[in-house]
Amino acid sequence: MKVLVTVKEVAAVEDEFQIAGTSIDETYLEYDLNEWDDYAVEEAVQLQEAGIADEVVAVTIGPERSEETIRMALAKGADRAVRIWDDALEGADLLDVGAKTAILEKVVEEEDPDIVLSGVQADDDGFGATGVSLADALGYEWAAVVNHLDQDSVESGTASVRRELEGGVEELTDVELPAVLTIQTGINEPRYASLRGIRQAQRKEIAPKTLGDLGLDAAAVENELELTDMYEPETESDATYFEGGPDEAAGQLADLLREKGVGAQ
């Protein structure tokens, strides 16, 4: 069984930063593996350690610089990686869900995995749609916001998953393979990359591919979205002080939480 994990290097801004037009200068950015993808990688590596998956392949869309980050997925146990980049992507300031879907669809067709694991969303642009959009394009089954995967079920060709819905409600569902599962944080406890793993990862393959290699041209990744503005929202804080004894304060807190929508029935 083969597992494909989509991973992404995301940028985070430092405490102090400046916006220039619709971008932030490199000097204010730190790159890291997308948090949700870290959980997806862990889930895939656990499938491999349980003897269920034979191969774990990480795929990313990103420039050469992203290899430093992607290699951490290899250090944690993924067998190899595929990295797609192209001059046509270089110029784009935003890669929308349609473009990512078009690229990943081709990679999935080439790799032919049994399961695709994808983070629910990316820390930076946060569309939260790529995984499901990819499943739709491929005609795969899917489950979004998965916070538990019954590993034994995977072996029988059906993934029994628990999904997180709104308001604290959870859903149990079975998904026929091949399928795309979008992975929620908390599904597992991502490991640290071991020193030995980091060492070994340097020799693992990260295969670079262009759009042409995938049989795509620049038209396939044309954006329907345009980045028009970037600004820092004003922060506001709202503090409520409760008076009285513990019972009274707890009651007031409960009322407030209910009023704010916590704890749906």
Residues that bind another protein (CB under 8 A): 67-68, 71-72, 75, 191-199, 201-202
Closest CA relative to residue 148, chosen from 115, 121, 181, 176: 181
Contact 181, 118 (CB under 8 A): yes
Query: In the complex with another protein, which residue's Cβ is closer, 195 or 239?
Result: 195
Over 28-76, what HEC string results? Answer: HEEEEECHHHHHHHHHHHHHHHCCCCCEEEEEEECCHHHHHHHHHHHHC
Nearer to another protein, 135 or 201 (CB): 201
> Cβ 29 to another protein, closest distance in Å?
15
Judge whether 176 and 158 are in contact, CB under 8 Å. yes
Closer CB to another protein, 85 or 142, in the complex:
85
CA distance 185 to 206: 26
Nearer to another protein, 38 or 86 (CB): 38
Cβ proximity to another protein, 62 vs 113, nearer residue: 62
- For residues 187 and 161, give the distance between their C-alpha atoms in angstroms, rounded to a whole number: 11
Q: How far is the CB of 13 from another protein (least distance, A)?
A: 18
Minimum distance between the CB of residue 200 and another protein, rounded to whole angstroms?
9
In the complex, least distance from residue 67 CB atom to another protein, rounded to whole angstroms: 7
∠ CA 74-58-116, rounded to 5°: 140
Cβ neighbors of 177 (< 8 A, separation 6 or more) are: 114, 115, 141, 154, 157, 158, 159
CB of 160 to another protein, least distance (A): 28
Minimum distance of another protein from residue 25's CB (angstroms): 20
Task: State how far Cα 253 lies from the chain centre.
Answer: 35
Helices (H) and strands (E) in the chain, counts: 8, 13
Q: Is 128 or 197 the residue whose CB approaches another protein more closely?
A: 197
